[in-house]
Amino acid sequence: MQKTGLIELNAIVAVAAARNFRAAAAELGMSTSALSHAVAALENRIGVRLFNRTTRSVSLTEAGEQFLGKIGPALKDIAAAMEAATQARATPAGTLRINTSEGGARRILIPIVLEYVRRFPDVHVDIVSDGRMIDIVADSFDVGIRLIETVPQDMIAVPLKAEERFFVVGAPSYFEKHGRPQTPNDLLRHACLRLRLPSGTVYRWEFERHGEEIRLDVKGPMTLQSMDLMLEAAVGGAGLAYMTHQNVEADVAAGRLTTVLEDWTPPFPGLCLYYSGHRHVPATLRAFLDVAREMTRARKKNGRG
């Protein structure tokens, strides 16, 4: 079979599964126009219309259903054979693309990546840390990192940390001057350091106790987009910050920061790696997942969560 024929056949399968040319193009890593041309070329070659197309929907014709039923199993066999050949490589090679937040996974991700590149020097790791909530398949990433509770249902998640927790923290000098808040609503009378999310919106501080949930649009002297700057400002006494345990643990242990409202910030499910459940797993990603699982087990065994 010619290469172009295989591309066209895969295009038919992808469009039939997605019922949408744009989504199918993203799955195949090609432009929507190229995908449309591939489908049209095959329809012209065999002289049969395979899809009913409207501005709102795409569906298989009766002839398309029959055609897909014939080619589907054969393409699965071809994909399985190609996957087996890929996995036969003794050493993964190529590029692994990871999407993550800039600071949220730093202490977890970087040790995994360092160990991964040590074991597999033929792999180049490309980390994009702009913090946007994206579709990793559409944006051509192999794997992403986010909170488990926010991972799409069609993705496969690999937990990296059992739990995460936020804390409200301030410098001892700040509390000496302004006192300690006793309830979340007291924060409305305090100087708070606000965080601007990558989307441009300002994060609202979230609290929960005994089923009661509170979200506050706090006010204060600064709005920042860097966790490092926020931590420095909090240690300097500029105001209160709302940050994760991993961001503040060293400064709390050293006495540079003090936590408040601990009973209003319970633990929640932590970070995970996630990847598409609809694609074969290339050798580069499979090896990375193995390293991540191994190091996560070791961290839990050593009591580091």
97: left (phi over 0), alpha (psi -120 to 50) or beta: beta
Which carries the bigger pLDDT value, residue 302 or residue 59?
59
Q: Where are the beta strands (DSSP E) in 136-264?
A: 143-147, 155-159, 163-164, 166-170, 193-195, 205-209, 212-216, 222-224, 241-244, 258-260
Reply yes or no on whether the pLDDT at 123 is more than 60.
yes
| pLDDT at residue 302 in the model | 67
| pLDDT at residue 279 in the model | 66
- Please state the pTM of the whole predicted model: 0.55
| Residue percentage of the chain with pLDDT more than 90 | 36
- 3-state per-residue secondary structure call for 66-78: HHHHHHHHHHHHH
Q: Which residues pair with 207 in a beta bridge?
A: 214
Going by pLDDT thresholds of 50, 70 and 90, the confidence category of residue 26 is: confident
- Average per-residue pLDDT for the chain: 85
Sign of CA dihedral 242, 244, 250, 254: positive
The residue type at 104: G
Distance CA 12, CA 14 (A): 6
Reply yes or no on whether the pLDDT at 113 is more than 70.
yes
pLDDT in tens, 159-181: 887 677 899 999 999 999 999 99
Going by pLDDT thresholds of 50, 70 and 90, the confidence category of residue 303 is: low
- 12-16, 57-61, 111-115 — most confident range: 111-115
Stretch 24-44: mean pLDDT, rounded? Answer: 86
Angle at 222 between CA 218 and CA 228, to 5 degrees: 105
Going by pLDDT thresholds of 50, 70 and 90, the confidence category of residue 1 is: very low
| pLDDT at residue 154 in the model | 81
pLDDT in tens, 207-216: 999 889 999 9
Using alpha carbons only, how large is the chain's radius of gyration in Å? 25
Q: Among 14-23, 31-40, 145-154, whose mean pLDDT is lowest? A: 145-154
Find tokens 């799409």 and name the residue: 152
pLDDT in tens, 39-83: 888 888 888 898 988 877 889 999 989 988 888 888 888 777 776
Distance CA 50, CA 224 (A): 53
pLDDT in tens, 221-262: 999 988 889 999 999 999 999 998 888 999 999 999 999 999
CB count, 10 Å around CB of 171? Answer: 22
